[in-house]
Amino acid sequence: MEVLTAAHTDVGMKKKTNQDSLLVKIADTSAGKVVLAVVCDGMGGLSQGEVASASVINAFSDWFEKELPRQLAAFDLDEIRYRWERLIKEQNQRIGEYGRRVKIQLGTTWTALLLIDTREMMIGHVGDSRVYRIDESIAVLTEDQTVVAREVKRGMLTPEQARRDPRRNVLLQCIGASRLVEPVFSFGQPVPGEVYMLCSDGFRHMITDEEIFQAFAPNVLIDEAVMKEKAKELVELNKQRQELDNISVVLVKIV
């Protein structure tokens, strides 16, 4: 398996700091090529959200470098999932304790994609950042953990009402600001030709799925230069439409 990657992040139109944090790591291992991509959105409106998002990113970067090789040798996906869950719970405690110590509230979402060659895909998720798969069509592989998404699922709101609802950014859980955090995991098999997109919620409010598909379709993303250019184009389009949040996107294409 070969992969192409690109990432772009922008502070957006209103905020003074970019509270989003990104990670992309690639390694040749005993199990083949492995890719880890992570997006963490530090809580807008909460103090020092960038501290929370960077803390989680650093924890997963360390895991990739220090623990993944041993776990891949045994090729036990359950062990990897268990370790991710422990990392998230540890980060929730650590960030929460830091916030209480300095008397501020801070937190972050976490959405991570792990590709182990073309053998396995694992997604871990807390909050409302997303993973999309783009091939002949576009599909969201994560479920937003928000009040509004819960109400849509219950039939209390339509998707159109949800887009305008003032509670659309209210999370059901986030790392560092929730007493308990329960990450959600999903699994699949990556296929050559597919594109995976991870993004913070600031990337997707002002543009449509069709615009994302047109920009990031596999036949469009022919190399990493084009991927970076297209990522920048959609971030700028969000800003033209007055997106106020930080805006981040990561692209991974399996060749």
pLDDT tens readout for residues 124-159: 999 999 999 999 999 999 999 999 999 988 998 988
User: What percent of the chain clears pLDDT 70, i.e. is strictly above it?
Assistant: 98
- What's residue 169's pLDDT? 79
Q: How many CB atoms lie within 10 A of CB 127?
A: 28
Residue 220 CB: number of other CB atoms within 10 A? 14
Share of the chain above pLDDT 90, in %: 87
2 pLDDT higher than 90: yes
Query: According to the model, what pLDDT value does residue 47 have?
Result: 65
* Mean pLDDT score, 27-37: 95
* pLDDT, the chain, mean: 95
**Quick one: pLDDT at residue 164?**
80
Mean pLDDT over 174-200 rounds to 97
User: 105-123: b or e for each residue (b if 16 or more CB lie within 10 Å)?
Assistant: bbbbbbbbbbbbbeebbbb
Domain boundary assignment for the chain:
3-134+173-254
Of the candidates 165, 125, 161, the residue with the CA atom closest to the CA atom of residue 145:
125
CA dihedral (177, 140, 22, 194) in degrees, to 10, reads: 160
Which of these CATH numbers, 3.40.50.1000, 3.60.40.10, 3.30.2320.30, 3.40.50.970, describes 3-134+173-254? 3.60.40.10
Residue 44 has pLDDT above 70, yes or no: no
Q: 45 pLDDT band (50/70/90 cuts)?
A: low
Minimum mean pLDDT range among 41-45, 110-114, 173-177: 41-45
* pLDDT at position 38 over 80: yes
227 Cβ partners below 8 Å, 6+ apart?
4, 5, 6, 221, 251, 253
Average pLDDT for residues 196-213, to the nearest whole number? 97
Residues constituting the chain: 255
Asked if pLDDT for residue 167 goes beyond 90, the answer is no
pLDDT of residue 51: 94
Which residues lie below 8 Å from residue 103, measured CB to CB, with a gap of 6+?
Answer: none
pLDDT, mean of residues 188-199? 97
The pLDDT of residue 22: 98
Average pLDDT over residues 156-175: 87
Cα first-last separation, the chain: 7
Tokens of 136: 């002949």
